[in-house]
Structure 1
Amino acid sequence: MFPTRRSVLFGGAAAVGLSAVGLSALQASASPRLGYPFTLGVASGEPSADGAVLWTRLALDPLAPDGHGGMPNRVVPVQWQVAADERFTRVVRAGVEFARPEQAHSVHVELAGLRPGAEFFYRFRVDGHLSPTGRTRTAPAGGALGQALTMCFASCSHYGEGYFTAYKHLAADEPDLVLHLGDYQYEYAAKAADVRQVAGPETRTLADYRLRHAQYKSDPDLQQAHQVAPWLVVFDDHEIENNWAADVPEAPDPQFAARRAAAFQAYYENMPLRRTSRPREGRMQLFRRARWGSLATFHMLDTRQYRDDQACGDGTKIDCAERLDPTRSITGADQQRWLLEGLRSSRARWDVLGQQVFFAQRDNTIGEKQGFSMDAWDGYKASRDTVAAALGGVRNGVVLTGDVHRHWAGEVKESYDRPDSAGVATELVTTSITSTGDGDESANAAVLAENPHLKYYKNRRGYVRTKFTGSELRADFRTVDYVRTPGAPVRTDATFVVEDRVPLLNRV
């Protein structure tokens, strides 16, 4: 019986051997054969019109304290295969990569020469062990509008604070593309209130970060979300430590540069990223573009590594004169120049910023207390005004945001200093996968009233599912009512439509 997509992706892959489809085995090694090494699953990312990145990381014991996943200290050859069908009867690419101990036995295969706008299936084999099957796809050709694009985006998944049920539902939606906007993992050690046991101490060393990523990648719901579609990822703060900015840690730490370098190395090892993002000299190139034909261009931003440090307090919601300083930048000069040039030259139907922190103004005035978040674009007003003006010059500008553990939807204004300022883009903010726990049904009426350009708020966990077409963007805010125990159903709490050339949110 021909297997269904769901059975192949989520359980049936091991029934089909690589040798059955003509991939010759490597010459047997004198080293002892490994046990099952694909405990961390498989993933793909960075889709282009002719390729993508395939990823896996070998681990016999994911929670080994040294961060090496129980793997021997030797290079391991890994066979890989890409096919146009789920049964791998039409293999289009195959080869061998080498999993090396200095890269935590991670594998990054950069595919090229594939057919544009097509679906593909991939898998790996080591010592006779077959990995789960993953699904990936290429973007449409450069000038093609292509079919509708279903894209889900998520943020903020704290292992200790809940179950990754929302990832399982995201996988069931079978999107074409997934964006993760930061806080993929958290640095904290286990806490008394955690509902799942976090392994290891607070992450500071390369071994710590490798172990933490391995624990996250061992989660079956997260594995399903990676298997179903290619991902585009960017980090926020917790991949390193809370509230870090540029070269400045949250609290004084003479070892911060080494800590950040270790976190960057582990992040690369555990994500389906291209070699251009491999850390060098303690830095990591993560801002980049991904084009989905002429339908959408995704401008993936890094709002941590190049920003000015928290010159105004400790990142809490306060009001201060520094936010008006025109020299304060959240992107840094080079990244801002790159973004503005990309928006200026874009011919895409939708230009999408994939980034971390709240973009639209959010005046948190309650009673006599006034203030803005200095850890968001509100703390860098000149940066926001410059980028907002550039968004006003494209056909359709959309900002995607994570970080705040709440669903929000808003309209981006050219200037928040003038009540009659024109709208230039829309902003969709995803809540967390688990961070801050179950949430509740509390409203945020005071903040919504103070900010009439903000149209929606929800304090539940979940993700956002979008559908881009030539005529509209549809956004479904997906929620689960609890994460402290597994198995919550998912529902669409609100849906908004943005029409082509009209930067307004229409609730449906």
Structure 2
Amino acid sequence: MSISRRHWWQAALAQALGLGGPSGLWAQAPMEANPFTLGVASGAPSDSSVVLWTRLVPPNPYRYPWADVPLEVRWELALDEGFTQLVQQGRHTALPALAHSVHVEVTGLPAAQRLFYRFRVAGFISPVGQTRTLPSPQQEVGSLRFAFASCQRYHAGHFGAYRAMLADQPDLLVFLGDYIYESGGRVGEFRGPISAAATALNDYRELYALARSDPALQAMHAACPWLVIWDDHEVFNDYAGGPLQGQARWGSVARRCAAYQAWYEHMPVSPRTVLGGLQALLTGPAALQVYQRVPVGRLAMFHLLDTRQYRDDAVRCGIAGLFKPEDCDAARDPARSLLGREQEAWLQQGLQQQSPAHAASRQHWNVICQPTTVSPRLLPVWGERSFSDGWDGYAASRQRLIKGLQQHQVSGPVILGGDIHEHWAAHLHAGPGPTQGPIVAPEFCCASITSRAFGGITSAEIMALNPHVQFSARQQRGYGLVNMTPERLQVQMRVIDDVFKEWPSVGTAAAFEVAQGNPRMRRLG
């Protein structure tokens, strides 16, 4: 069926925005090969909904008959893997303007339910994915197992850590940023094509498609729902987002918009993430609300933060982003923010709801998920220096977070992070010094999936400079695994033996326990 570009564009927007459209508008373009080569995924779970994701990809991205054709994709959600007990099914229009990605937010589902899903198009059937809805916010939950991960540079090694994670069978995965690395591929790297740094939409799309071609990552996406945030490499190294208008020293608005769109196209997030709707994303510039709160029954509240889009510019102290804290007044400037004032206010409101005044409804644990280390981090570089790109460069933001946790007497605060490419377990103290004042929260940062640690610094050097750190492992790749009950949580620092193996061996470098009501961690074993 031949229709004008303007006609299908208007109808596609109407379909994608839920405004309806003429039935039978799209011809099913012929497909010469399976388009589900990037697998399936689910995410953004709640007690009554979940997002199902896939993307249709041609075997030859430069020549295929359905390049500019919206495609009707059928989806199915069932109680069993054989799809004999369907819960819901429907149709979704995959738009060429969104790289034929599919985001189906299925609502009206029962709480705490394991489900199976798949997609169909032009006679092809996708792999089957497994997902689940979460318990209702008022439901008591006996236990939760979840993993957390970050920093998966495709060119640096196999994503074998996900194969190990699969065996751990988490209920949920929290991804803390650096899903791709915008720098592309360099000569001499372990795998992947050589490419220039991403600057345009197709560049970013190719990097996501490359990452999602890894079978271990596909299997992990299909195994459980993901909660995702971003860090810098989804756009470019150490960028400060700020408003999406104007030209900043951190790069063009067009580049940020392209990166944001590609992230949305490849993440299992709700269409509601795009502020202004899909029309704003397609006609731009658009902002994405990545920060959110996710309750898991009465057991845990996940606070997912965006430390990129709203931050002030990095301080210009020191050398190459490394500064001496005592010599940089700007890092302590209370007017500067890592989260932006609106997100900070949102976070404080959420923490207030976890105070004793809300004892009848608050969760046992409050898990603050953000990309890096919140506690201070000194490095033995040119003396003793901190990174301006992290919370050390926004010390007033950190103090406002600490004050909120203390003032509201937040139940069971725990901080998760990534970014630093090492396992790190530390106590966040009230301050002003790294070990001064009471312990406010334990902090656990996971090693990278593949990305190498920075420089030749040893874990012993890190711990000598940072007495609040209880554990550091810089030379191993891996992820974090958390087993949580109302009374306690246990964190395992999982490590693989070789990032260059598709099927690595896995072990636990260290394990810690935190009891409810006592933020001091205890090492196990």
Give the TM-score, by structure 1 length: 0.89
* C-alpha distance in structure 2 between counterparts of 1:171 and 1:439, whole Å: 31
State how far apart, in whole Å, the 2-side matches of 1:425 and 1:88 are: 44
Match of 2:353 among 317, 321, 345: 345
Is contact 2:159–2:499 with CA below 8 Å preserved after alignment? Answer: yes
Q: Paired residue for 2:404, among 371, 384, 390?
A: 390
Q: Per-residue displacement from partner, 1:90-121 (whole Å, max 9, x unpaired)? A: 11111111111011000111011111111111
Matched AA of 1:134: G
Partner of 2:494: 478
Look up the match of 1:12: none
Q: Distance in 2 between matches of 1:427 and 1:30?
A: 51
- From 310, 318, 340, the equivalent of 1:332 is 340
Q: Which residue of 2 aligns with 1:374?
A: 388
How big is the shift at 1:379? 1.0
Q: 1:282 Cα shift?
A: 3.5
Alpha-carbon distance in structure 2 between the residues aligned to 1:446 and 1:41? 42
1:213 equivalent to 2:208? Answer yes
Give the distance between the partners of 2:195 and 2:384, measured in 1 at CA: 40
The question of 1:318 aligning with 2:323 is answered yes
Taking a change above 3 Å as real, the CA distance of residues 389 and 28 of structure 1, as seen in their structure-2 partners, is closer
Q: Which amino acid aligns with 1:77?
A: E
Q: Establish whether residue 296 from structure 1 lines up as the match of residue 294 from structure 2.
A: no
| Cα distance, 1:286–1:65 mapped onto 2, change above 3 Å | farther
Residue 451 (structure 1) shift? 2.2
- The aligned counterpart of 1:425 is 441
CA-to-aligned-CA distance 1:157-213 (integer Å, 9 cap, x gap): 001111100112112222111011000001113212310023643111111111111
The answer on whether the counterparts of 1:437 and 1:484 sit within 8 Å (CA) in structure 2 is no
8 Å Cα contact 1:497-1:507 kept in structure 2: yes
1:387–1:128 CA distance, 2 compared to 1 (3 A): same
Q: Indicate conservation of the 8 Å contact 2:70/2:95, yes or no.
A: yes
Q: 2:237 matched to 1:242?
A: yes
Query: Relative to structure 1, is the Cα distance of residues 419 and 73 closer, same or farther in structure 2, using a 3 angstrom cutoff?
Result: closer
Q: Quote the Cα distance in structure 2 between the aligned partners of 1:235 and 1:161.
A: 19
Cα gap change, 1:28/1:181 in structure 2, threshold over 3 Å: closer, same or farther?
Answer: closer
The SS at the match of 2:363 is coil
Aligned AA (2:61): A
- Alignment of 1:44 with 2:52, yes or no, is no
| 1:203–1:28 Cα change, 3 Å | closer
Q: What SS does structure 1 have at the residue aligned with 2:107?
A: coil
Tell me how far apart the structure 2 counterparts of residues 446 and 32 of structure 1 sit (CA, whole Å).
Answer: 60
Q: Name the amino acid aligned to 2:133.
A: T
In the alignment, is residue 462 of structure 1 matched against residue 460 of structure 2?
no
Q: Match for residue 84 of structure 2?
A: 89
Q: 1:87 deviation in Å?
A: 1.8
Supply the distance in 1 between the matched residues of 2:378 and 2:154 (Cα, whole angstroms): 31
Q: 1:54 to 1:418 in 2, by over 3 A?
A: closer
Partner of 1:135, secondary structure, is: strand
DSSP-derived class of the 2:287 partner: coil
Aligned match for 1:283, one of 282, 287, 292: 287
Q: For each residue in 1:376-415, what CA deviation from the matched residue of structure 2 results, as whole angstroms up to 9, or x when unmatched?
A: 1111111101101222321110111011000000111111
Among 216, 223, 227, the alignment partner of 1:228 is 223
Q: Answer yes or no: is the 8 Å Cα contact 1:199–1:212 preserved in 2.
A: no
SS state at 1:276 partner: helix
CA contact (8 A) 1:57 1:107 kept: yes
Please state how far the C-alpha of 1:30 moved relative to its aligned partner.
Answer: 6.0
Matched, 1:102 2:107: no
Aligned equivalents of 1:490, 1:304: Cα separation in 2: 32
1:259 Cα deviation (Å)? 0.2
Q: Distance in 2 between matches of 1:365 and 1:33?
A: 56
How many Å apart are 1:327 and its aligned residue? 1.2
Of 100, 113, 116, 1:118 maps to 113
Matched, 1:448 2:456: no
What's the counterpart of residue 29 of structure 2? 31
- What letter is aligned with 1:325? D
Structure 1 contact 159–198 (Cα < 8 Å) conserved: no
Q: Structure 2: which amino acid aligns with 1:353? A: I
Equivalent-residue separation in structure 2 for 1:396 and 1:99 (angstroms): 42
**Shift, 1:439, TM fit:** 10
Question: Is residue 420–residue 453 contact of structure 2 (8 Å, CA) maintained in 1?
Answer: no
- Partner of 2:191, secondary structure, is coil
Q: Distance in 2 between matches of 1:187 and 1:70?
A: 29
Cα–Cα, structure 1 residues 70 and 143, in superposed 2: closer, same or farther, change >3 Å?
farther
The whole-number CA distance in structure 1 between the counterparts of 2:153 and 2:146 is 22
Preserved contact between residue 65 and residue 207 of structure 1 (Cα < 8 Å) = no
Describe the superposition over 1:433-453 as per-residue Cα deviations: whole angstroms up to 9, x where unpaired. Answer: 00117999x842233133222
CA distance 1:171–1:438, shift in 2 (3 Å): farther
Aligned to 1:64: 61
Task: Describe the SS at the equivalent of 2:48.
Answer: coil
Identity among equivalent positions (%) equals 39
Aligned length: 477
Structure 1 residues 384 and 253: CA distance shift in structure 2, 3 A? closer
Q: Secondary structure at the match of 2:137?
A: coil
2: CA distance between counterparts of 1:350 and 1:142? 13
Aligned to 1:75: 70
Q: CA deviation at 1:370?
A: 2.0
Unaligned stretches of 5+ residues in structure 2: 1-23, 275-280, 355-361
- Aligned letter for 2:373? F
CA contact 2:422–2:448 (8 Å) conserved in 1: yes
Cα RMSD of the aligned pairs, angstroms, is: 2.4
The answer (yes or no) to whether the contact 1:134–1:228 under 8 Å persists in 2 is: yes
CA distance in 1, matches of 2:34, 2:187: 33
* CA distance in 2 between partners of 1:52 and 1:451 (Å): 41
Q: 1:220 to 1:30 in 2, by over 3 A?
A: closer
CA distance in 1, matches of 2:434, 2:498: 40
Structure 2 counterpart SS, 1:341: helix
1:197-233 Cα distance to aligned partner (Å, 9 max, x none):
2364311111111111111111101101100110011
Q: Secondary structure at the match of 1:208?
A: helix
Q: 1:73 to 1:303 in 2, by over 3 A?
A: same
Partner of 1:55: 53
Q: Does 1:355 align with 2:359?
A: no
Instruction: Compute the TM-score of the two structures, normalised by the length of structure 2.
Output: 0.86
Secondary structure of the residue aligned to 2:288 is coil
Is the Cα contact below 8 Å between 1:190 and 1:201 reproduced in 2? yes
d(CA) in 2 for partners of 1:360, 1:469 = 25
Q: In structure 1, the residue corresponding to 2:285 is in which secondary structure?
A: coil
